[in-house]
Chains A and B, each alone.
Chain A
Amino acid sequence: MARRSLEQRRARIAWAFLAPTLVVLLVVAAYPLFRTFQLSLYRANLLDYPLRPEWVGLANYAYLIRDAYWWISVKNTVIFAVVSVSLETVLGLGIALLVNAKFPLRGAMRTAMLIPWAIPTVVSAQMWRWMYNDVYGVVNDLLLRAHLIEKPLAWLADPHLVLPAIIAVDVWKTTPFMALLLLAGLQSIPEELYEAATVDGASPVQQFWFITLPLLVPALLVALIFRTLDALRVFDVIYVMSGVNPSTMSMSVYARQQLVDFGALGYGSALSTGIFLVIALFVVLYLTALRVEVD
């Protein structure tokens, strides 16, 4: 009896400590989400004065399912997320292993590596826009000089090249972030394990596969989830580099066009809810995969 009341008291204290977090989450996450869903059931134009919302039930969702542009934007976003996060993980792991090794000026190297990530995306995207220009851009100039291409490529105009070109910019920008997360994971692996492995005669490659990689899995998964969810929300790099163009537009770019440019509060909110559902799907996939790993 006394024990149970102790448990109860502990539970009460736990709730008391959790309460501020829960309140903050309710205010900044749950409420906006609820409002967005609520708005998605109306037809309303931001530009009407006064605002004249009209209840339309699930009509916005019925249209969303048939909206070719929405599905194009989902496809673009998923391609963007999968390709960019895969490349960033592989390259980030390589860089993390490199800067984890001991060599002179390692501190300077680690700092320099973060520069692409520190530049605001809008600035670096505009910079890349100029570098990708087909006539005066430096990318074509270098490739032509190296005889890798015969004539200039229109990186941002050719519908087959523009998404890969944007993915390349994202990889350039975000690989340092990935490397940083993985470096933190690498540094948490105890040095003794490698010493013991060396005594046992394991080669560096074996050490990587049987010590580094398995022990890095938790950090790797956290980094992957972080980056994937971030990549699914992608907006700035795509918007700056190619605007609202069906060849590249992501879910967020499309939702922004509806909400801001067209003032379509209802349909834009339905799109936002759609984005939420797509991202939620990825979270469920990852969590399922994570549980399997833990078992």
Chain B
Amino acid sequence: MKLPRWLKLGLLALGLSLVGAQAQGVTVTISCGSVGKGYNFCKEGAEAWAKRTGNKVRVLASPKSTTDRLALYQQQLAAGSDEVDVYMIDVIWPGILGEFFVDLNDYVEPKVKADFFPALIKANTVDGRLVGLPWFTDAGILYYRKDLLEKYGFSAPPTTWDELKAMAEKIQAGERKTNPKFWGFVWQGAAYEGLTCDALEWIYSYGGGTIVDEAGNITINNPRAAAALKMAKSWVNTISPPGVLAYMEEEARGVWQAGNAAFMRNWPYAYALGNSPESPIRGKFDVTVLPKAATPEGRHAATLGGWQLAVNRFSKHKKEAVDLILYLTSYNEQKRRAIYGSYLPTRPALYKDPDVLSAVPFMGRLYDVFVNAVPRPSAQTKKKYNQVSAAFWTAVHSVLEGKVPAEMALRQLEMQLERIKGAGW
């Protein structure tokens, strides 16, 4: 059938207008994490919003590994892609990717911000721009075996690193008689971002600062930081397995959950897994705040983790996208996620909610840990954070391996950071 050209065009235009009339609202695309049940929870939440507002959502899954996800997002955003409207971003990314996200101050009333943890709002603020809203948070915590502490005559978990070492040595010596694979303390010692988190906790708990202070000055080369690293070095091959220098979260959990460790440093996700029906240590452990240094400057420290929602500056539906992230970070949606998925809320009020506390009791007890969590220096070092972190974990790793003494490593690290900083962050 041969139609005249004008008729074809006319039919096409008619078809397009019909499609347009059919679709109510707009389609907002959100990129969610795919770890554990994360994708399903995100999809349920986003679809509830779509139903309520008459818009549509498209939920994309992203790579499991944080580093790979950042690489993917960097490429999409650097290419100016408007494919994804809402990105789920790690707490250290606002400084790295911030320029590609919408300033939410233009869309959100100031009183909305007041409902979130101030530290999280601060972590999402780069040069005065609010680039993301916190969705769920994370902090490093100490896991300990209640049964073993009791067996060896300890009434409470350690509050200082010295106590932890003494307890770990005693329990390890005792357990080795029946289990040659037993170790006192496992943590994340591989050369990667996780080591930055662990080492920041040691150094901060000694009063040694946060590598780069809030004003952007490089503070890492100090005796307290050196003392913290020496302490960690002394664990390797005494209370911690030599292989800990290649452990990430899952390797540490592998040793811990098999019942081969008395203590573990990890994120809260290991709590639910350790209490799963098939876990050998089910009901035999508890969590608490990480120990501090036994010096006057000593204080408890937990590195801040967690995820935020941000709106792509190239998005064609900014208003709807902002509405979606306001819904996903709302009290009720976070409550649902806390109760059914044990995601840690970013609103202080939820830690007092009786429904949340009865479903996930440890959230109430660890409230102080989450409030006082220490951010990595990503806000001040901005796009150079990855370089700073890589230089830091490489230096720490070389100390733990015994290749370089702590003081010398920190001196070299300081020089390296000065070079990375150049004229400014």
Closest Cβ–Cβ distance, residue B61 to chain A (whole Å)? 18
Measured between alpha carbons, how far is A199 from B189 in the docked complex, in Å?
A: 65
Say yes or no: B383 contacts A242, CB within 8 Å: no
* B-side interface residues, number (CB < 8 Å): 40
B243's contact among A45, A46, A51, A156, by CB below 8 Å, is which? A156
User: Which residues does chain A contribute within 8 Å of B255, judged by CB atoms?
Assistant: 135-136
Measured between alpha carbons, how far is A172 from B247 in the docked complex, in Å?
A: 23
Asked if B38 is at the interface (CB within 8 A of a chain A CB), the reply is: no
With known contacts A136-B258, A154-B241, A154-B242, A262–B387 Cβ distance under 8 A: yes
Say yes or no: A46 contacts B386, CB within 8 Å: no
Mask of A212-250 contacts with B, CB within 8 angstroms, 1/0: 000000000000000000000000000000111111000
Closest Cβ–Cβ distance, residue B116 to chain A (whole Å)? 26
Max count, chain B CB within 10 A of own CB: residue among A152, A155, A157? A157
With known contacts A48-B383, A157-B243, A157-B246, A244–B99 Cβ distance under 8 A: no
User: Which residues does chain A contribute within 8 Å of B401, judged by CB atoms?
Assistant: 157, 159, 247
A157's contact among B97, B183, B244, by CB below 8 Å, is which? B244
Measured between alpha carbons, how far is A51 from B74 in the docked complex, in Å?
A: 12
Max count, chain B CB within 10 A of own CB: residue among A154, A158, A243? A243
Asked if A49 is at the interface (CB within 8 A of a chain B CB), the reply is: yes
Measured between alpha carbons, how far is A158 from B236 in the docked complex, in Å?
A: 11
A46's contact among B78, B242, B260, B394, by CB below 8 Å, is which? B78
A243's contact among B192, B251, B254, by CB below 8 Å, is which? B192
Asked if B190 is at the interface (CB within 8 A of a chain A CB), the reply is: yes
Asked if A38 is at the interface (CB within 8 A of a chain B CB), the reply is: no
Closest Cβ–Cβ distance, residue A48 to chain B (whole Å)? 7
Measured between alpha carbons, how far is A152 from B387 in the docked complex, in Å?
A: 34
Say yes or no: B246 contacts A136, CB within 8 Å: no
Say yes or no: B74 contacts A136, CB within 8 Å: no
Looking across the interface, which residue of chain A has its beta carbon closest to that of B70?
A261
Measured between alpha carbons, how far is A152 from B255 in the docked complex, in Å?
A: 14
A260's contact among B71, B96, B384, by CB below 8 Å, is which? B71
Asked if B245 is at the interface (CB within 8 A of a chain A CB), the reply is: yes
Asked if A116 is at the interface (CB within 8 A of a chain B CB), the reply is: no
Mask of B175-216 contacts with A, CB within 8 angstroms, 1/0: 000000101000001111000000000000000000000000
Asked if A187 is at the interface (CB within 8 A of a chain B CB), the reply is: no
Of residues 42 through 60 on chain A, the ones whose CB sits less than 8 Å from some CB of chain B are 45-49, 51
Closest Cβ–Cβ distance, residue B254 to chain A (whole Å)? 6
A246's contact among B246, B386, B394, by CB below 8 Å, is which? B394
Say yes or no: A136 contacts B390, CB within 8 Å: no
Measured between alpha carbons, how far is A51 from B383 in the docked complex, in Å?
A: 13
Say yes or no: B189 contacts A48, CB within 8 Å: no
Say yes or no: B383 contacts A135, CB within 8 Å: no
With known contacts A133-B251, A133-B254, A157-B242, A47–B78 Cβ distance under 8 A: yes
Closest Cβ–Cβ distance, residue B93 to chain A (whole Å)? 10
User: Which residues does chain B contribute within 8 Å of A51, judged by CB atoms?
Assistant: 78
User: Which residues does chain A contribute within 8 Å of B398, judged by CB atoms?
Assistant: 246
Of residues 257 through 285 on chain A, the ones whose CB sits less than 8 Å from some CB of chain B are 257, 260-263
User: Which residues does chain B contribute within 8 Å of A262, judged by CB atoms?
Assistant: 384, 386-387, 390
Say yes or no: A135 contacts B394, CB within 8 Å: no
Measured between alpha carbons, how far is A162 from B67 in the docked complex, in Å?
A: 22
Looking across the interface, which residue of chain B has its beta carbon closest to that of A157?
B245
Measured between alpha carbons, how far is A243 from B70 in the docked complex, in Å?
A: 16
Looking across the interface, which residue of chain B has its beta carbon closest to that of A245?
B191
Measured between alpha carbons, how far is A261 from B67 in the docked complex, in Å?
A: 8
Say yes or no: A261 contacts B383, CB within 8 Å: no
Measured between alpha carbons, how far is A253 from B387 in the docked complex, in Å?
A: 15
Say yes or no: B99 contacts A48, CB within 8 Å: yes
Asked if B5 is at the interface (CB within 8 A of a chain A CB), the reply is: no
Asked if B403 is at the interface (CB within 8 A of a chain A CB), the reply is: yes
User: Which residues does chain A contribute within 8 Å of B100, judged by CB atoms?
Assistant: 49
Measured between alpha carbons, how far is A144 from B119 in the docked complex, in Å?
A: 49
Measured between alpha carbons, how far is A236 from B178 in the docked complex, in Å?
A: 39
Measured between alpha carbons, how far is A156 from B255 in the docked complex, in Å?
A: 15
Asked if B376 is at the interface (CB within 8 A of a chain A CB), the reply is: no
User: Which residues does chain A contribute within 8 Å of B190, judged by CB atoms?
Assistant: 157, 242-243, 245
Say yes or no: A157 contacts B254, CB within 8 Å: no
Looking across the interface, which residue of chain A has its beta carbon closest to that of B389?
A261
Closest Cβ–Cβ distance, residue B198 to chain A (whole Å)? 14
Measured between alpha carbons, how far is A266 from B390 in the docked complex, in Å?
A: 19
Mask of B222-263 contacts with A, CB within 8 angstroms, 1/0: 000000000000000000011111110001001100101000
User: Which residues does chain A contribute within 8 Å of B189, judged by CB atoms?
Assistant: 157
Say yes or no: A244 contacts B181, CB within 8 Å: no
Asked if B265 is at the interface (CB within 8 A of a chain A CB), the reply is: no
Say yes or no: B260 contacts A263, CB within 8 Å: no
Asked if B397 is at the interface (CB within 8 A of a chain A CB), the reply is: yes
Of residues 387 through 424 on chain B, the ones whose CB sits less than 8 Å from some CB of chain A are 387, 390, 394, 397-398, 401, 403
Closest Cβ–Cβ distance, residue B207 to chain A (whole Å)? 29
User: Which residues does chain B contribute within 8 Å of A242, judged by CB atoms?
Assistant: 190-191, 246
Measured between alpha carbons, how far is A245 from B260 in the docked complex, in Å?
A: 27
User: Which residues does chain B contribute within 8 Å of A257, judged by CB atoms?
Assistant: 390
A154's contact among B246, B254, B258, B383, by CB below 8 Å, is which? B246
Looking across the interface, which residue of chain A has its beta carbon closest to that of B68?
A260
Measured between alpha carbons, how far is A51 from B189 in the docked complex, in Å?
A: 36
User: Which residues does chain B contribute within 8 Å of A243, judged by CB atoms?
Assistant: 190-192
Of residues 121 through 155 on chain B, the ones whose CB sits less than 8 Å from some CB of chain A are none
Measured between alpha carbons, how far is A159 from B247 in the docked complex, in Å?
A: 14
Q: Can you add 7 more A-B contacts, CB < 8 Å, to A159-B401, A243-B191?
A: A48-B99, A49-B100, A135-B241, A135-B243, A136-B255, A242-B246, A245-B190
Binding site for B on A (CB under 8 A): 45-49, 51, 130, 133-136, 152, 154-159, 162, 242-247, 257, 260-263
24 cross-chain CB contacts under 8 A? A46-B78, A47-B99, A49-B99, A134-B241, A136-B181, A152-B241, A152-B243, A155-B243, A156-B243, A157-B190, A157-B242, A157-B244, A157-B401, A159-B401, A159-B403, A242-B190, A243-B191, A245-B191, A246-B191, A247-B401, A260-B71, A261-B71, A262-B387, A263-B74
